[in-house]
Amino acid sequence: MNRRAFLMGAASAAAAPRTPPNILFIMPDQWRGCDMGVAGNREVRTPNLDHLAQDSVYFRSMTANTPVCTPARGILLTGRYAHRAGTPVNDIPLPDEATTIAEILGRAGYYTGFVGKWHLEGGKRLPGFIPPGPRRQGFKFWAANECSHDYFKQQYFRDDPTPIPMKGYDAFTWTDLALEFLDRARERREPFCLYVQHPSPHNPYWLPPGYENMYAPERLTMRNNWRPGLKYAGAPKDIAGYYAAITCLDAEVGRLLKRVDEAGFRDNTIVLFTSDHGDLLGSHGSIHKQKPWEESVIVPGLLRWPAGLRRAFASDAVFSHVDVVPTLLGLCGVKSPVAMDGFNYAPYLRGARVKTPEYAHLAIHTRTENNEFGPWRGLRSRRYKYARFQDKPWLLYDLEKDPYEVENLVDSRASARLVAQFDREIQTHMRRTGDRWDELRHRPYS
């Protein structure tokens, strides 16, 4: 993509529209921020997202504060850190008393809908029926399940406990259901908010039909921090399957955006594309998420609103999951009835000179997959990444000089002052938000 064209983006938009904007929130599962054409990956094919980026604010380092499914989803519905949303770990329910963006917008006259993987009910993941009522946290249109990554034997639920089986690869049906919502929204007078959460490209990295031969494992370039010879996932074959799922989903995003255009929604619809977390896929000799490295915590971040934002541009602002809900509400001109932890980027997106957060705060409250590491806390600034365990510092990287996080500076004498500064920031943040190292034994909603 021509960099000048991208930075200039679309022509300056007119003044913010008088009618409230719609929201289309698209969040596939486990998609690394580095794996889009616009992010510089020349091997993975994402033409629809690259086209979307030309008219979007592209947050180059959008950060998952707690990079694992349930915590991230709780944050992205409430605008509160995972321990404050009541979802610090996987497979626990979002508390009934949590206030979500769907509830807030519903009270403001929005038609709300949820399609895809929910993963906020807790307990057994299947069959995954969430009955109409408070457990749907404000969403009126419903076509979802709790959690399943069996992409060829998928099912979903509507308003009764009878499972509805899907035919073939599930991504196509999830998109069809989202299109159904958009068609209904076209017949209504209210603005809408639709959350679409495909379960892929999360492992297992099975090949979608029609994409089986798109990526040859032996021809793929591994990242500079990838380690060969792993005894578990992360091999080139897995990356080929992951890329195939990405390209398939890119086409599904194209289907969604085409319907938005056909329905006349384009100019006044905020489209936000992101993910709940990434996957190391062999980088740093590890897999999956819950770790502080970039492949785990940095996710896609594209935000488009032609009628309401002056221009498209690439941003290095420290924008993280916890900022999503307050920013969307800010763009919609809707006030939250409850306090949120995130920063409202709406003035920044409209071109105002405002002081934005210096750090994105990171936290994992339990041991990581394969029992690799204990709970940790950290932060990411524009330049640095830092993480620590309760009893000792762990990682420090200069991201400007070392974007692949190969050289750990945490034990360097020259870094002692920086480590102390970051430790003070983490301590202050934990005290301010009520976080604590033994948090899982003190988990009431607050």
Q: What secondary structure letter does DSSP report for 142?
A: E
Per-residue pLDDT tens digits for 262-274: 999 999 999 999 9
Q: Quote the tokens at residue 240.
A: 């080929």
Residue 17 has pLDDT above 80, yes or no: no
Domains and CATH numbers, the chain: 3-349 (3.40.720.10), 360-441 (3.30.1120.10)
- pLDDT at residue 313 in the model: 95
Residue 407 has pLDDT above 70, yes or no: yes
Q: Closest Cα partner for 72 from 280, 388, 254, 297?
A: 297
- 98 in Cβ contact with 445 (< 8 Å): yes
Q: What is the pTM of this model?
A: 0.93
DSSP labels, 187-216? TSSS-EEEEEE--TBSSS-PPPTT-TTS--
Residues 66, 70: Cα–Cα separation, whole Å: 9
Residues 78, 100: Cα–Cα separation, whole Å: 5
From residue 40, alpha-carbon distances to 3, 37, 43, 103, 258 in Å are: 11, 5, 9, 37, 25
* Between 232 and 312, the higher pLDDT residue: 312
Amino acid at 279: D
Q: Quote the tokens at residue 175.
A: 């998109």
Residue 321 has pLDDT above 90, yes or no: yes
Split at pLDDT 50, 70, 90, the class of 232 is low
- 88 in Cβ contact with 42 (< 8 Å): no
Q: What percent of the chain has pLDDT over 70?
A: 93
Split at pLDDT 50, 70, 90, the class of 13 is very low
- pLDDT at residue 5 in the model: 36
- CB-side neighbour CA atoms (13 Å) of 234: 22
Average pLDDT, the chain: 92
- pLDDT at residue 370 in the model: 83
* Between 40 and 16, the higher pLDDT residue: 40
- pLDDT at residue 329 in the model: 98
Concerning whether 119 is annotated as a catalytic residue, the answer is yes
Q: Quote the tokens at residue 48.
A: 């629809």
Residues 376, 296: Cα–Cα separation, whole Å: 14
Concerning whether 332 is annotated as a catalytic residue, the answer is no
- 425 in Cβ contact with 386 (< 8 Å): no
- pLDDT at residue 47 in the model: 98
Residues 123, 119: Cα–Cα separation, whole Å: 10
From residue 199, alpha-carbon distances to 31, 171, 202 in Å are: 10, 8, 6
Residue 125 has pLDDT above 80, yes or no: no
Residue 126 has pLDDT above 50, yes or no: yes
Helix (H) or strand (E) holding 141: strand 141-145
- pLDDT at residue 123 in the model: 76
- pLDDT at residue 12 in the model: 33
- pLDDT at residue 81 in the model: 98
Per-residue pLDDT tens digits for 173-213: 999 999 999 999 999 989 999 999 999 999 999 999 999 99
- 393 in Cβ contact with 410 (< 8 Å): yes
Residue 15 has pLDDT above 90, yes or no: no
Q: What is the mean predicted confidence (pLDDT) over 400-414?
A: 97
- pLDDT at residue 1 in the model: 37
Residue 323 has pLDDT above 80, yes or no: yes
Residue 391 has pLDDT above 60, yes or no: yes
Catalytic residue among 119, 198, 202, 277: 119
- Residue partners of 337: CB distance under 8 A and separation at least 6: 99, 104
- Exposed / middle / buried, residue 189 (Cβ in 10 Å: 0-12, 13-18, 19+): exposed
Residues 407, 421: Cα–Cα separation, whole Å: 20
- pLDDT at residue 11 in the model: 31
Residue 322 has pLDDT above 90, yes or no: yes
Q: What is the mean predicted confidence (pLDDT) over 124-148?
A: 91
Catalytic residue among 34, 69, 248, 332: 69
- pLDDT at residue 19 in the model: 87
Residues 276, 421: Cα–Cα separation, whole Å: 29
- Residue partners of 131: CB distance under 8 A and separation at least 6: 159, 161
Q: Closest Cα partner for 326 from 108, 79, 73?
A: 79
Per-residue pLDDT tens digits for 337-385: 999 999 999 999 999 999 999 999 999 999 998 889 999 999 999 999 9
